[in-house]
Structure 1
């Protein structure tokens, strides 16, 4: 695309997210690199209004995000000039159909930026779990007394074994964050070879061995058919008594019926930001169990963290305007093994 002719861009996402994704300064920067109407947000490609239809017909770039309609053949029909989709969120798995890639449309995602707060949340949970902070808090609420030396003897983060399942973008960011601490970090990922594991500074193990050896297990694998219930009843049973499972990936990676049984028995602890289903039924015991720390899918970008996603989109749009390749391009083949 010629830098002499700025690309035409259109928003297609839930407009409630726009002010946080693109605050004033960032929206100004976006307007300097592309022709875009900040007040126009398309929610339907099949039957847009007259103004939206005209904008789509002229658009070279579509800026999507949470709440965007799925991009398929209707998108191509409405946007004959479309060349690039810039997604101001994480995964594009449920958003982009094969038709767009087959038509030569390039796709970029802010998934790497969205991985940052997920990894930070996970690190915080690992450190708190290693201090047994959640159980000690429950005990303190009941007794109003400080724990004894005997009660805290098993507590601490020195030499704690942390098992990371999946060297995804979040998984790799977490591995970086774990390096300054006195953990022994184990990794399971069928796509990582020993040489790469050595570069990552981790001990590569088969899944079953990782589960047996880890004090804390953290899930960062993609939600694909091959990983559904990756942690089934048998594999959950390999985690040592008192072990901690952290899931900030997708609820479908865990057999929640089996996990609930282990949690009800008190054998395991869990820190769950995602579940299956999501949210859990109102009568689920996981809301009130003392060995469960349950949060409402908040590990990813929230509040002022959304601006980081918007910056990725503007950076990519500047590359499009300059005729440069995308820095965060997603290829159709990537979806077979990524989120």
Structure 2
């Protein structure tokens, strides 16, 4: 009955606000139920994840902030200072402070050309024989269910996503998710122990810059976890022609997205609306050479532009303060990196969203 009433809220802002107010205590109970279930079984009931989304909307993100505060007390950041430098090399303390400050204030930070071209090209070379899921607004269900090669001579979708477990089987990926710089940045921002909760690797082929909802090429905000930070890694050179990532500065902060927009939930938001509300100076388009890393709190408004005349290869990591939320796990069948193996043994919570089934 409540769901039916909620569908009527667009006809009356007052009525919609009333329904959300009535539902808030119910959603809080669903969060408690979900947290208990998650503690016992390691999974989040879908109704509890949806309740998290609604509570985020109702409180303008403040409930997420409160839960994150308690998680930071229960799971304070790990001490990783004894680790040797990883792929990103050393980082001065002053830069760590700069990264933290900008992430908190603006919601993003860019590490330019941080990974070597050799690393990016070596990883790209391994992808030609692998299989991908495709995404696109005009694709049929049977097409979405199949796996495809990324064939540049026969592009059939605006987005090719490497199968989830294939990403974590790559030795280069295992080396990167063992990098102490990325882990420390994530922990500092989350103010708690971090957990790798999502890894993706995908191609965006050049299709004249068309906008595709299923390929996340319209503005939106995420709410898959309680609090998280994402690392968008350019594995090819990215300029305006190859579909750069975009972000609206400062929209990660609680209360920063106007009520009329956030009340829409996961609905996409047009470029025109974003421009009218936030102004051109806050809309950022990240271009950079291969090896550039965009660090972002994707609770803020963001999207990927459609590629116009050049393709884009992007890898993305998500680190969160809890696995509560979307039940997306990774299975690893072979560990290639000695550092990765050592970190798994030393810091099991860091990789607790991975299932290890070595063969």
TM over 0.5: no
Question: Normalised by the shorter chain, which TM-score bucket?
Answer: under 0.3
Higher relative contact order (CA 8 A, sep 6+): 2
TM-score (norm 1): 0.26
Compare CA radii of gyration and give the structure with the larger one: 1
